[in-house]
Structure formats: structure tokens, C-alpha cells
């Protein structure tokens, strides 16, 4: 599965467009991590607990989007984008979306 943020893939052309595919998730760290993150927020620096939270969400939403594209018979996703928002305090929603396509070699 080829994932690109551009609208085209060099050396290939789009044969079929399957339409929008997306994957999202809402994850949280446990309350103990939230408390420690609160203290780190006071002293500054990277809040690695939340870096980890967003990274987990990013990978899960990416996998869900890819699974949807595979189920539709696509071999690439073009125009990939990420979006994030806060659903509740300490919980983040991560959304990955793009256009599922079937590619063929140019020419």
C-alpha cells in the first residue's frame, strides 16, 4: 500500500478512484500518566506521555484507514491528511483520511 500526501504518485497513473477512506480513534492515557503530565506541564519540556498518546492514535487511525482502502481493493492512498482534536480532557481524537486509488504504471 502506497501512502502519499501528494495527489499523484511519480511513475504511476491513477486507474480507479475508490473515494474517501478514513480511520479515526480516540485514545487516552491513564489517570496516573495524566497527573504526571500535569506536573511536566508546569516545569516545561516535552510531555512524553502525550507524545506517546498522539503517536498511538496516529498509528491506529492510519492502520484503520489502510484497512478500509485494502477492503475496497485499492493499492494506494493519495492526498493523505491527518486531523486531531480534543474530545475530552486528556483524550485525543486522531483522524487520518485520503483518497483510495488503484495505480498502474505510466505509459
CA distance 103 to 17: 9
Q: With binding defined as CB under 8 A, does residue 24 bind another protein? A: no
Write down the least CB distance from residue 51 to another protein, Å.
5
Write down the least CB distance from residue 71 to another protein, Å.
9
Window of 16-24, 53-61, 76-84, 96-104 that interacts with another protein by CB under 8 A: 53-61
Write down the least CB distance from residue 65 to another protein, Å.
12
Window of 6-14, 55-63, 78-86, 96-104 that interacts with another protein by CB under 8 A: 55-63
Which of 20, 55, 83, 87 contacts another protein by CB under 8 A?
55
Distance of CA 75 to the CA centre of its chain: 17
- H-type alpha helices, the chain: 31-43, 48-71
CA distance 34 to 79: 34
Closest CA to 28 of 79, 87, 97: 87
CA distance 23 to 96: 5
In the numeric block, which cell numbers belong to residue 77?
492512498
Which residues bind to another protein, rule: CB under 8 A?
1, 27, 32, 48, 51-52, 55-56, 59-60, 63, 66-67, 70
Amino acid at each position: 500500500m502506497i501512502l502519499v500526501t501528494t495527489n499523484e504518485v511519480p511513475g504511476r497513473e491513477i486507474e480507479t478512484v475508490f473515494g474517501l477512506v478514513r480511520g479515526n480513534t480516540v485514545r487516552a492515557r491513564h489517570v496516573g500518566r495524566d497527573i504526571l503530565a500535569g506536573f511536566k506541564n508546569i516545569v516545561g519540556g516535552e510531555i512524553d506521555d502525550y507524545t506517546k498518546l498522539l503517536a498511538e492514535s496516529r498509528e491506529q487511525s492510519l492502520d484503520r484507514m489502510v484497512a478500509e482502502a485494502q477492503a475496497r481493493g485499492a493499492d494506494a492512498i493519495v492526498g493523505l491528511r491527518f486531523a486531531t482534536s480534543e474530545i475530552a480532557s486528556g483524550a485525543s481524537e486522531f483522524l487520518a483520511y485520503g483518497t483510495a486509488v488503484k495505480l498502474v504504471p505510466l505509459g
